[in-house]
Amino acid sequence: MNPETLNEEPSDKANIHSVTFVTEEEKPPAYMYSPGIYASKPEPRSKNGDSVISKPQQKSLFNVNSILRAVCLVLICTLCSAAAAYIVMDFRFARGDFAVYNNVTLGGRPSMQQDDGYVAPLITNPDDLSASDIYDIALTQVVGISTELPDSFGIFGVPGSMTPISGTGFIISNDGYILTNYHVVETAHSRNIPITIVLSDSTTYTATVVGFEAYSDVAVLKIDATGLNPVIFGNSDILRVGQTVYAVGNPFGDFVYTMTDGIVSALDRIVSVDGRTISAFQFSAAVNSGNSGGPVYNTAGEVIGIVTAKVIRGNVEGIGFAIPINDAVEIATGLIEHGYISGRPFLGVTVQNVSSAHAEYFNWVIGVYVRTVNRSSAAENAGIKVGDIIVAIGDEEVTSLETLRFALRRHRAGDTAQIKIWRNGDTLDLTITFDEDEYAGRPNRPEAPEPDSPNPFENIP
């Protein structure tokens, strides 16, 4: 949820517009007919030469007109000030300076008085923060995540000193919400292993899983704590290649709170990690196992991404990938606000991959084979049947379950799209309107029912 935050102190003084009234002694020998214009004009008279308007009446009218003009001037200035303030605030919201989503506010603010008396670090000039300044801030925001049972050695090699660190996370609210990668907590969550959060001062908390989206590799945890210092969100939509970035995390679980620096190397990378297709940006700061789930900072001390993967190929270093923070904040907000990720599309089918070997064996096409279709689902309403093979959604080719999920992420519940299927040798274009997946991100999603139709791949030699 933030671009580079405008860190300016609001003025205590209102805009004051002064109006100067001309006294009788200072008034030039003329009458005011329009603002700021004086002109001599003969006094109107009747046919017999008498003045039509007496001097006292003229003076009274002049005072009334002056007051009306002053009031109009004040109103105009007030409206102009309000319009200017609106334009500035609208611009700052558009840039993402305020991470407000529905009823949830995530992320901290420079020099903001937090609940319970905690004061976030003051950032007076975010464009000039040194690496040391950012590291000092990170010490109050980055956490270690342990998903292993304690053994005889802690993270400092001292027997019994602490639970070993498995990954990294960071604080996104002062009341204990934490953002990390799903793969950091996946095994612990599935096996009911306790998840421990370790702060930089060695304070530990037991965390609960609020929710996650496995295929985006984002998870939200919660600890019972207040007065924490949440990160400030940057705006990942305005990242540029060449920007300096810093990664802070716990590589290998032993070298806790390590900072490395680098640059944004590329944008909009599509990477596959453990069967998950993720849209990420590439960066050159060195990261290793244990950095997963940690923040990537910009030079303003704002978090712009979550470390999720690195290339492991020989001695290759300096190729890491991070989930854009805007994507992660959207997921976190939905989980905290609604208990699930709202707006995620739902097909209502159970599918299975059709590999190249399957396609050759059956004389089919590569895609995903439909095993079941839920009643009254988006798929059934679109005309999809058991035995169909989905080969594309919109402009996205579908060659596997992984690419199907990625194609669905291009849409939201309620969207209408073209879906291309292969059926008995024919290719059909159907129109589908997606349902909403009301279980998206829930930690205890119901298991899909076993398909009623036979598995055509079961007896392939």
CA distance 461 to 250: 47
CB 145 within 8 A of CB 197: yes
Give residue 384's pLDDT: 97
Domain that holds residue 246: 238-330
* pLDDT score, position 200: 93
Shared domain for 371 and 301, answered yes or no, is no
pLDDT of the chain along its 461 residues, tens only?
444 433 444 444 333 333 344 444 444 444 333 333 333 444 454 455 554 444 455 555 556 677 777 777 777 777 776 666 566 455 544 544 444 444 456 777 553 344 444 344 444 445 669 999 999 999 999 999 998 755 444 333 344 444 567 899 999 999 999 999 999 999 899 889 999 999 999 999 999 999 999 989 999 999 999 999 999 999 999 999 999 999 999 988 778 899 999 999 999 998 877 777 888 999 999 998 889 999 999 999 999 999 998 766 656 667 899 999 999 999 999 999 989 998 999 999 999 999 899 999 999 999 999 999 999 999 999 999 999 999 999 999 999 998 999 899 899 999 999 999 999 999 999 999 999 998 898 988 877 777 767 788 777 76
With respect to residue 94, please indicate whether it lies within any of the assigned structural domains: yes
pLDDT of residue 12: 43
Question: In terms of domains, do 325 and 362 share one?
Answer: no
Helix (H, G, I), strand (E, B) or coil at 182: helix
Handedness of CA 260, 264, 267, 269 (dihedral sign): negative
Identify the CATH number of the domain in which residue 356 sits: 2.30.42.10
DSSP H helical ranges for 114-268: 131-138, 182-191
Any domain includes 351: yes
Question: Do 9 and 90 belong to one domain?
Answer: yes
Do 3 and 83 lie in one domain? The reply is yes
Q: Is 367 in the same domain as 409?
A: yes
The Cα 80–Cα 58 span in angstroms is 33
- Are 301 and 379 in the same domain? no
Same domain, residue pair 262 and 314:
yes
Can you tell me the distance from the alpha carbon of 251 to that of 144, in angstroms, rounded to the nearest whole number?
Answer: 10
Q: Is residue 373 part of a domain?
A: yes
Name the residue among 218, 222, 102, 211 with its Cα closest to residue 174: 222
Report the CATH number that the domain containing residue 269 is assigned in CATH.
Answer: 2.40.10.10
Which active-site residues does the annotation give? 183, 217, 292
What pLDDT sits at residue 163? 52
Total of domains in the chain: 3
d(CA 220, CA 172): 9
Dihedral sign for Cα atoms in the order 92, 95, 98, 101: positive
The pTM of this model reads: 0.68
| DSSP state at residue 62 | H
In a shared domain, residues 363 and 425 = yes
Same domain? For 322 and 401 the reply is no
Helix (H) or strand (E) holding 179: strand 177-180
Does residue 290 sit in the same domain as residue 323?
yes
- Cα separation, 313 vs 239, in Å, equals 27
Domain finish residue from 98, 121, 153? 98
Residue 305 in domain = yes
Domain termination site, one of 69, 98, 127? 98
Give the C-alpha separation, 353 to 96, whole Å: 40
DSSP string, 101-115: ETTEE-S--TT-B-G
Q: Quick one: pLDDT at residue 67? A: 73
Does any domain span residue 104?
A: no
Distance of CA 10 to the CA centre of its chain: 26
Is 208:192 a contact under the CB 8 Å cutoff? Answer: no
Per-residue pLDDT at 270: 87
Report if residue 110 sits inside a domain: no
Length of the chain: 461
How many Cα atoms are found within 13 Å in the side-chain-facing hemisphere of 35? 11
Rounded Cα–Cα distance for residues 440 and 216 (Å):
11
Q: How many angstroms separate the CA atoms of 445 and 210, rounded?
A: 12
What are the distances in angstroms from CA 263 to CA 255, 281, 299, 352, 452? Answer: 22, 11, 11, 40, 52
> 166 in a domain, yes or no?
no
Q: What was the pLDDT predicted at 155?
A: 38
- What pLDDT is recorded for position 98? 42
* Phi, psi dihedrals of residue 77, rounded to the nearest 5°: -65, -40
Q: Which residue among 330, 358, 390 closes a domain?
A: 330
Q: Is 386 part of a structural domain of the chain?
A: yes
